[in-house]
Amino acid sequence: MITKNHTILIVDDVTKRRLHLQSMLLEREDSILEAETAEAALELIQRKPADLVITETELPTRSGLYLLQEVKRHYPETEVILTTHNASSFSLLQALRHGAFDFIVRPIDTSEILFNVIDRAFAQIDLRIQNHVLLAELEHRNQEMAQSLTMMTALSKAIETINSAIEVGDLLSRLLDATLGALHAKRGLLALVSGESRNHFGIKMSRGISSDFVKKHPDKLSEGLLLDIARSGSPIVVQESLPTYMLDRVTTDEKHLVTEPGLLSVPLYHRDRAIGVMILFGHADDTPFTDQNLQFLVQLAHHAAIALEKAGIIHQLKRQGKSNKK
């Protein structure tokens, strides 16, 4: 299928021939540009790109063959049709060798031959555009598949790491380290529920965060962004800079956490009860956090809940063992 509204550049120093071509092309819906010389054509096409150039072979100063070469060198996607009164095998071979789409022998008495060549040229242009689009889509899908495979591999390794932990503290430490490594986050923390109200959270573990900040909040986060995120109980992804409603909640102490774009968070559960939250800040290598990253985090948090359950059972068995010995 040929798309409409292509741009055609007519190049001929003979005004009568140029106007004759233009009059025939008025039947079409294409935009028409004109130039008398190869030099003028090159200057014009630099300012106004053309899909197709129809040029006379014999031009003053520089020939149509020269124009063909320059156009294909600088604008390889543009097709070139040559018009000539002498279709010698040598000139034809030279033109085709340098990338001409086709040539037409003058005089051009009817539009049928002209339109046939033009339509074939536009069909090739459109096919090339469609191929570029399809290749770009395929490349995008391949990248997505590669990213998915990378995330699946990282998730498998992270799950294996946390499953090998026996103590709860070691498990949470491995969980945070594995997450930071897999998602290339610059900073992260684990805040757990503190007190019976379940509205207070204290920082129990962190990486890349000011020690003074962590020491201030071992049992109770101050009102601000972190506490809002912890209380939300929902997974959150911010790809770039924080939205205004989040920035308005950032306290003075929290500003150092959000100096770089990107935030991820996920609630942590144990026996179907929210026990805390893991929050990551700042994506590395200028690569924004994605929904795929958030899905990774959610799945890892789910497996962490299972591992916490196992660690709790092991802890109970150890306590029972010690009681039996007494």
Angle, CA of 220, 305 and 168, to the nearest 5°:
65
Q: How far is CA 120 from CA 2, 115, 116, 225, 246, in A?
A: 9, 8, 6, 61, 56
Beta strands in the chain (DSSP E): 7-11, 31-35, 52-56, 79-84, 102-105, 185-193, 201-207, 236-238, 263-270, 273-283
As a whole number, mean pLDDT of residues 115-120 equals 93
Highest-confidence segment of 24-38, 275-289, 294-308: 24-38
Of residues 180, 177, 267, the one with CA closest to residue 228: 267
Residue type, 54: I
User: For residues 51 and 23, what is the distance between their CA atoms, to the nearest angstrom?
Assistant: 19
Of residues 237, 241, 248, 249, the one with CA closest to residue 289: 237
Domains and CATH numbers, the chain: 7-133 (3.40.50.2300), 164-325 (3.30.450.40)
Identify whether the C-beta of residue 126 lies closer than 8 Å to the C-beta of residue 5.
no
pLDDT at residue 324, rounded to an integer? 45
As a whole number, the mean pLDDT across the chain is: 86
Residues in Cβ contact with 74 at an 8 Å cutoff, skipping those fewer than 6 apart: 42
Whether residue 1 is predicted with pLDDT greater than 70 in this model: the reply is no
Q: Specify the DSSP class assigned to residue 222.
A: P
For residue range 59-111, list pLDDT tens digits in order: 999 999 999 999 999 999 999 999 988 767 567 778 888 889 998 888 888 88
For residue range 258-295, list pLDDT tens digits in order: 878 889 999 988 777 888 899 999 887 767 888 888 99
pLDDT at residue 313, rounded to an integer? 45
Give the predicted TM-score (pTM) of the model: 0.59
User: For residues 130 and 280, what is the distance between their CA atoms, to the nearest angstrom?
Assistant: 41
